[in-house]
Amino acid sequence: DQKDFDGIKLIAHCNEGPKHNITSVLPKGCKFLILIGPEGDFSSEEVVLALENGFIPVSLGNSRLRTETAALAVVIATYLLTSEF
């Protein structure tokens, strides 16, 4: 249940509105949960519901990615950005 999650909650969506760069909200070693939408993106209602429940809107860059590509890109990028080498 996401309400019991004690890490950072993110939502990546393509709707209009301000979004953080994902690298600016993930400190090294943090736990995070990210919502990545289906093909066609989240509905406006889904985005509002996520924001009302503490999710931070983030951008994955200027390109629109397929769902499966976005998930893989987030895993790789966050591993590289937040891991201790």
User: 36 near 72, Cβ under 8 Å?
Assistant: no
* Among the ranges given (24-28, 44-48, 53-57), the one the predictor scored with the smallest mean pLDDT: 24-28
The range of the structural domain enclosing residue 20 comes to 2-82
Domain of 23, CATH number, reads 3.40.1280.10
> How many independent structural domains does the chain possess?
1
- 32-53 pLDDT, tens digit per residue, is 899 998 888 899 999 999 999 9
- Cβ neighbour number for residue 71 with a 10 Å cutoff: 14
Burial of 30 (0-12, 13-18, 19+ CB in 10 A): exposed
